[in-house]
Structure 1
Amino acid sequence: MRHLFFILFLSFFTFQANSQGKLEKAEKGLSQNNNYYSSAPNSRTSSSSSYEDNSLWGGLAMVFIEIGLYATYYGLIESPTEKEHRASEAFITKYPYHSSNRGNYAYNWDGDTNLSRITLTNRFIAENNELYGNHINADFRFLKRVSIEADYLQLWENNTFFGDNSLATFTFLAKYHRVRTEKFNAYWGMGGTYIAGDVEELGFTYGIGAEYFFAKPLSLELNYNQTLINTRSSDKLNLSLNYHIDRFKVTGGYEYLRIGGVGFSTFSVGIGVFL
């Protein structure tokens, strides 16, 4: 009986020491003191010959990097062949399916198009009854192929055993819309994300995304971005089906979040408006 009591006591102590909610694990995974490089060995014993070899290879690497940067310009911005296509000068539509089957862009300037556009979207996301959140996004599109996006994500966790917790992220992206056809568009972007709560860190963010208007009034949208903080990453992947009704859209789909090594698989539903 004494041995049984000791085992139960030890199990309870171990459970209390290791137990924590998913949001708390995510915050600790991104915290500054969880730096994988802190224990890296100090390599100051390289000889002068190896230094010269490194300098030689470093110089060659810089040459290839410069060549690569010039070559990728056509991939990131526009190739000479694409400049001859009508999509090169495509205009922003007032909103998708305004009076035709066109999506975010139109080849001709007419009653469907505008110089700029703002899209506001609000989505409720939930993994289960204990973990849920709200996702607000604002996108300002202008100059035909450029947009600025502000994104706010708030998560809450109400756990019977581990208590309540919350986590908020603020993301800012400058986006370049690389592909601009009347049925399909795609972008890449760069910016930053601030993660609040116990983390309170700012990290570099890059993102990619696309939207395909396959049949009026529907579109399929995909967005992904990754933020690098303290050698760890925060990832957001959103796949949604949009139903367009005049200036509004009803959206629903799947949203995957990975924060500090902890994954969150959520379903989302929301509404958007084009201004």
Structure 2
Amino acid sequence: MQRKLGFLFLLIFTFSASFSQSKIEKSETSLKKQKNNASTSTKRSHNLNNDNDSFGEMLVIETFGRLAINIIAYTAYGILVEMPFERDSPSSSAILTKHPYLNSNKGNYSYEWNDYSAVGRTTISSRYVFENTQLNGNHVNVDIRFYNRLALELDYLQLWENNPNFGYQTLAIYTALIKYHRIRTKQFDGWWGLGASYVDGNVDDFGFSLGLGAELFLGKPISIEANYNQTFINNNAINKFTALMNYYNRPFKLSGGYQSLKIGDQIFSTPTIGLSVSF
């Protein structure tokens, strides 16, 4: 009888311990766990015997190797930067506007320089995110655009969780991206970017980040926008996906939509609403 009671208490303790963390704590633990359990790679030495390689074989390998590298580099440049046939299109020399829908149905770009054009533009936005009454946060973003095609994005995401069972927990993620606006038309703007993120709190580590985004201008004053960001940290990942509908009123933008966060093995599904200003 005593053995059965002891086993029952052990089972209850184990079950309760598995749920003794808040959602933010679980996400931090999953990121740290991958760091601590990272497997070490082993190296094996190989003896290469090149005695049978002829000069002709080496020449063929070198020639085709260089050709393959050139083809890959040319294709990558065309996909990421610009195709040769695009150089004569109006979008190749598209000019940044002071802000969307300033004078017409044009979005972020126009094809001629005028009083509504801009050399650079800064947009500051703040969006409130919330999953439930216990978990919410704020998303602050600064987007600095210059030279029509380039931008620097600084992003700060702060989450708060106040759970009566686990106490008060916080998690902050800082991200910096250098962005290239690949598609630049009057109605559509598409970009990609590379950078780094820092996860504060118990994780306290950096990771490599990449991002993709696009905005479609449906007609004054509405647009729809989607952004995706992924950070690789400690053999795990942080994924952020945001879908927004925007309402423009001169330099201001009111946004509402949905944001999905996957931090380690924890998923946060949050509605979001916010305000932006451009200058």
What TM-score do the two structures reach when normalised by structure 2? 0.88
Helix, strand or coil at the partner of 2:113? coil
Question: Once the two structures are aligned, what percentage of the paired residues are identical?
Answer: 43
2:39 matched to 1:38?
yes
Cα deviation, residue 48, structure 1:
4.2
Query: In the alignment, is the contact (CA less than 8 A) between 2:123 and 2:144 conserved in 1?
Result: yes
Aligned to 2:23: 22
Aligned to 2:240: 236
Paired residue type of 1:22? K
Helix, strand or coil at the partner of 1:71? helix
Aligned to 1:73: 77
Within-5 A mapping of 1:183-202: 183-202=187-206
Counterpart CA distance in 1 for 2:11 and 2:18 is 11
Counterpart CA distance in 2 for 1:173 and 1:251 is 21
Cα deviation, residue 164, structure 1:
1.8
Paired residue type of 1:21? S
2:131 matched to 1:130?
no
Aligned to 2:12: 12
Question: Which of 214, 218, 221 is 1:214 aligned to?
Answer: 218
How many residue pairs get aligned? The number is 270
Helix, strand or coil at the partner of 1:82? helix
Paired residue type of 1:246? R
Please give the per-residue CA displacement for 1:198-217, whole angstroms capped at 9, x wherever unaligned: 01111111111000001211
Runs of 4+ in structure 1 off by over 2 angstroms are 1-12, 32-37, 42-50, 58-67
Please give the per-residue CA displacement for 1:145-189, whole angstroms capped at 9, x wherever unaligned: 111000000001111222221100110000000000000010011
Counterpart CA distance in 2 for 1:112 and 1:163 is 51
Counterpart CA distance in 2 for 1:39 and 1:144 is 45
Question: Which of 180, 184, 187 is 1:180 aligned to?
Answer: 184
Paired residue type of 1:201? D
Counterpart CA distance in 2 for 1:158 and 1:66 is 55
Q: From the superposition, tell whether residues 45 and 73 of structure 1 become closer, same or farther in structure 2 (CA, over 3 Å).
A: closer
Question: Which of 121, 129, 143 is 1:139 aligned to?
Answer: 143
Aligned to 1:105: 109
Query: In the alignment, is the contact (CA less than 8 A) between 2:34 and 2:236 conserved in 1?
Result: no
Counterpart CA distance in 1 for 2:196 and 2:49 is 41
Helix, strand or coil at the partner of 2:14? helix
Within-5 A mapping of 1:154-165: 154-165=158-169
Please give the per-residue CA displacement for 1:76-131, whole angstroms capped at 9, x wherever unaligned: 11112111111111111111100100001111111221111111110000111111
Cα deviation, residue 35, structure 1:
5.0
Counterpart CA distance in 2 for 1:64 and 1:89 is 31
Decide which moves more: 147-156 or 106-115.
106-115
Query: In the alignment, is the contact (CA less than 8 A) between 2:142 and 2:153 conserved in 1?
Result: yes
Query: In the alignment, is the contact (CA less than 8 A) between 1:35 and 1:231 conserved in 2?
Result: no
Query: In the alignment, is the contact (CA less than 8 A) between 1:203 and 1:227 conserved in 2?
Result: yes
Aligned to 2:267: 263
Query: In the alignment, is the contact (CA less than 8 A) between 1:209 and 1:223 conserved in 2?
Result: yes
What TM-score do the two structures reach when normalised by structure 1? 0.90
**Of the two, which has the highest radius of gyration?**
2
RMSD of aligned C-alpha atoms?
2.5
Q: Return 5+ residue gaps in structure 2 as ranges.
A: none
